[in-house]
Amino acid sequence: MKTRRKAGLLLAALSLPVALGVTGCSTISEYVSGTDNVEPPAELVRFDATVAVQTLWRRNVGAGDSKRRVRLVPAAGDNKVFAADRKGRVRAFDAGTGDPIWDTDTDLPISGGPGTGEGLVLVGTSEGEVIALEASDGKIRWRARVSSEVLAAPRAAQGVAVVRTGDGKLFGLNVADGVRLWVYDRTVPVLTLRGTSAPVIHAGMAICGFDNGRLVSVAVQDGQPVWDTRVALPRGRTDLERLVDIDSEPAVEGDTVYVATFQGRVAAVDLRSGQVLWRRDMSSHAGIGVDGRALYVTDDQDYVWALDRSNSASLWRQTKLRGRGLTAPVSYGDFVVVGDQEGYLHWMRREDGQFVARQNIDSDGIAAAPLVVGDTLFVYGRGGTLAALKAP
């Protein structure tokens, strides 16, 4: 059985930070080899499966992301699903059948993406490049240089590709040619977790979390700030104790943005004004999901929570996946779904969090949250397995 030292258990590992030469700051890697003093993941519990999940198709994308420990995600658009591997391969498949549509080898170390928008598939590299491919045929439209590595999926809308970099910057690039239109810059703390929040584009705004615990909204067209809100305040005497990174993607539902921070809080923020509607103490590095009923959170113990969206009250908590290295939860029909470090996909009832199904997708593990498109759930494993699933 694999053992994983989660970000919350890494904080004493001072000998392990990786220096980012571009920024001068340090990051704590999410993964550490060895098993000393590490709590093993919870054993899989037995239960009677009550839901028959159908596998529509499975495909291999390539090398996956297991060797470099980046978190590559699936993306979808125009009845296609896209995925990339760490060695630079980007592939498109028919979302319904899984038939290959195109396969492009960029021969670059992809570390973030893919993201989509404006007819493009966008990926970022550990060398600070952004590559835009045509979603229709995989041809490279342009390559652009940014200030440091890209660890989250770029997004595009309104003629602008928005890219978050590891040194605290948000770039706006012209989707036609990759020319820089604007840059929004935040000061990066001395020490951060390895990872960045992917930007969410909504209602003409790019919304993104930063390593200082702030959630920011800027205008997509020109990068001008719309609002800047502190979600979590650093506490403690040491740089380790003061980590409040927002590394997971914010979630928008209606007129509210939901966000989670490491060693900080989960919060609801008004989309238009940036006013904090409520905060609740809870640490999350994996991330959140939301639907019309509830906010779902994977905390740093790998407990899965359902919270009332209006006031953060607990609806239920699933504790039997402790230490299994969970992804952010997603809402799919009547279920909440998470992946884990051993490659299992866990299905829970949305009503009460009880298990209803479990599948093994990729023995190298699952790090990216599943992607829901219509009535299909797509899962991308670290070993390069891309699967399309459907539940009744």
What domains lie within the chain, and their CATH numbers? 7-390 (2.130.10.10)
What local confidence, expressed as pLDDT, does residue 254 receive?
96
Tell me what pLDDT residue 23 has: 37
The reported pLDDT for the residue numbered 11 is 36
pLDDT for 26 equals: 52
Query: Rounded to an integer, what distance in angstroms lies between the CA atom of residue 288 and that of residue 266?
Result: 9
Residue 175 in tokens: 């989707």
Residue 18's pLDDT is 36
pLDDT per residue, tens digit, the chain (392 aa), is 443 434 333 433 332 333 333 333 555 444 333 344 467 899 999 999 999 999 999 999 998 776 556 889 999 999 999 999 999 999 999 999 999 999 999 999 999 999 999 999 999 999 999 999 999 999 999 999 999 999 999 999 999 999 999 999 999 999 999 999 999 998 776 666 777 889 999 999 999 999 888 999 999 999 999 999 999 877 766 777 667 688 889 999 999 999 999 888 999 999 999 999 999 999 999 999 999 999 999 999 999 999 999 999 999 999 999 999 999 999 999 999 999 999 999 999 999 999 999 999 999 999 999 999 999 999 999 999 999 999 99
